[in-house]
Amino acid sequence: MENDGDIVARWTVPLQDHIHVIEFEHGTTTGRRVLRVDGKEILKREWMFKLVGKEHFNVANAKCQVTVEAMGTFAYNYSLEVNGKKYETFREEQKRKLLTWETNVSGQETRICLDKDTMEVWANGKKIDTAGEFVEGGSETHFELNRQVCVIRAISTGRKKTGVAHELYVNNTHIPRASTEK
């Protein structure tokens, strides 16, 4: 990154594949706009005369939009929408629907993500083939990573507010959930 001084906004967007970092650079005197996703420049505009407006782009399978609004003389507001939702709303929804574990599988750092809405399992950005079965008190989702046996157990907590608890086991070893705030 050449100049960190013009970065006016930075967002972290949790998706099934991984947590993406979006950075927006805005030169308020030149109109310059630079958009980076995970450190990779995906948009660069120089000498724009209109300092406000919208930039549309995709991150993985998510449609995103950065909006630049004037808030007075040389003051601007920068906002992000993901899949048509305000950034904060999208993050809250993702926090409810995505469960994430980070562990070492066969010597490789691995991020495993369960999408509770679709019951899809992702490992390091790749959708994993799974086999589900109902067991006493819940269900189990079985899959393999680097020849290691993995299972996500979904068990009713018996409490309406909590609902179902999901736990990951790799070779019968319980893996604690990763922090959702990054």
Domain check: are 15 and 52 in the same one?
Answer: yes
Could you tell me if residue 180 is inside a domain? no
Domain check: are 78 and 106 in the same one?
Answer: no
Half-sphere exposure of 65 (CA within 13 A, CB side): 10
Could you tell me if residue 181 is inside a domain? no
Could you tell me if residue 88 is inside a domain? no
Q: What is the mean pLDDT of residues 116-136?
A: 92
Q: Which of 37, 18, 22, 172 is nearest to 102 (CA)?
A: 18
Q: Which of 137, 135, 139 is nearest to 119 (CA)?
A: 139
The region that residue 75 occupies, defined by phi over 0 for left and psi between -120 and 50 for alpha, beta otherwise, is beta
> Which is more confident, 31 or 112?
112
**Could you report the per-residue pLDDT of 72-97, keeping only the tens digit for each?**
777 889 999 999 999 999 999 998 89
Domain check: are 113 and 69 in the same one?
Answer: no
**Could you report the per-residue pLDDT of 14-48, keeping only the tens digit for each?**
998 889 999 999 887 777 899 999 999 999 988 76
Domain boundary residue, one of 83, 105, 133: 83
Could you tell me if residue 67 is inside a domain? yes
Q: What average pLDDT does the structure give for the chain? A: 89
**CATH number of the domain where residue 112 is located:** 2.40.128.180
Domain housing 54: 4-83
Question: CA dist 44 to 21, 24, 27, 33, 127, Å?
Answer: 17, 10, 11, 6, 31
pLDDT of 115 higher than 80: yes
Could you tell me if residue 89 is inside a domain? no
Could you tell me if residue 66 is inside a domain? yes
Total domain count for the chain? 2
Could you tell me if residue 163 is inside a domain? yes
| Predicted local confidence at residue 17, as pLDDT | 84
